[in-house]
Structure 1
Amino acid sequence: MAKPFTPKVVTANALLEGDVIYQTATGWTRDLTQAEVLTDEADADLRLIDASQQVDLVVGVYLADVDPDPVPQPVHFREAFRAKGPSNYAHGKQETL
């Protein structure tokens, strides 16, 4: 029996900066709360294929589970860790925490 599809976002790393980024309806963002939440498996597969072809912008593209209400939030520890930014010292996203 197939596992039911759960809400997801397309995530990757920006090719030049290395930052974690998320796909929106019109491009990419570094803010998970602005990511496009995908609730249809076929649509998610198409968005993943489209993102994977953007080799001049991104690397390591994959679908990540999210809790969509009220804004997308990570479901797994790995995604929560990635959303906070680099952990070696305060820079990037961690400067504002």
Structure 2
Amino acid sequence: MKTITANRLVDGDVVWLGHNGEWVEFVEAAWVLGSDEDMTKALEFAKAGEEKQYVLGTYAIDLELKDGHLQPKSLKERIRAQGPTTRLDLGKQAERHLRSA
């Protein structure tokens, strides 16, 4: 499983490519690319996002299901998805906690 990630230019936030070319703020909402055809289409959307100067640095990452949740496979990408490892009250990990409370 793969998806496309980037940084949004307006605020530098980490985003992932959702269906139909929209950029989403949580990896759980990302478009899971299961075929070469999906990857080709996703890379076209990513290129368009860069050309419109909405995102920068698009690239594919590997995903996995862990404990029933979609997450990046690599540690680097998990940190990008969650936030700082030393301050759990910051980043997307803090937002998730507030939404679930």
Same fold by TM (over 0.5)? yes
Q: Match for 1:50: what amino acid?
A: F
Q: CA RMSD in A?
A: 2.2
> What is the CA-CA distance between 1:54 and the residue it aligns to?
1.5
Q: How many percent identity over aligned positions?
A: 32
For residues 68 and 38 of structure 1, do their structure 2 counterparts lie closer, same or farther at Cα, with a shift above 3 Å needed?
farther
Aligned partner of 1:21 in structure 2 is 15
Q: Match for 2:79: what amino acid?
A: F
More helix by share: 2
For residues 67 and 94 of structure 1, do their structure 2 counterparts lie closer, same or farther at Cα, with a shift above 3 Å needed?
closer
Taking the aligned partners of 2:38 and 2:56, their CA distance within structure 1 comes to: 20
Taking structure 1 as the reference length, the TM-score comes to: 0.77
Q: How does 1:1-97 map to 2 (within 5 A)?
A: 7-26=1-20, 27-55=22-50, 56-68=53-65, 70-85=68-83, 91-96=90-95, 97=97
Q: Match for 2:43: what amino acid?
A: L
Structure 1 residues not aligned, in runs of 5+? 1-6
Aligned partner of 1:3 in structure 2 is none
Taking structure 2 as the reference length, the TM-score comes to: 0.74
Taking the aligned partners of 1:92 and 1:73, their CA distance within structure 2 comes to: 16
For residues 87 and 18 of structure 1, do their structure 2 counterparts lie closer, same or farther at Cα, with a shift above 3 Å needed?
farther
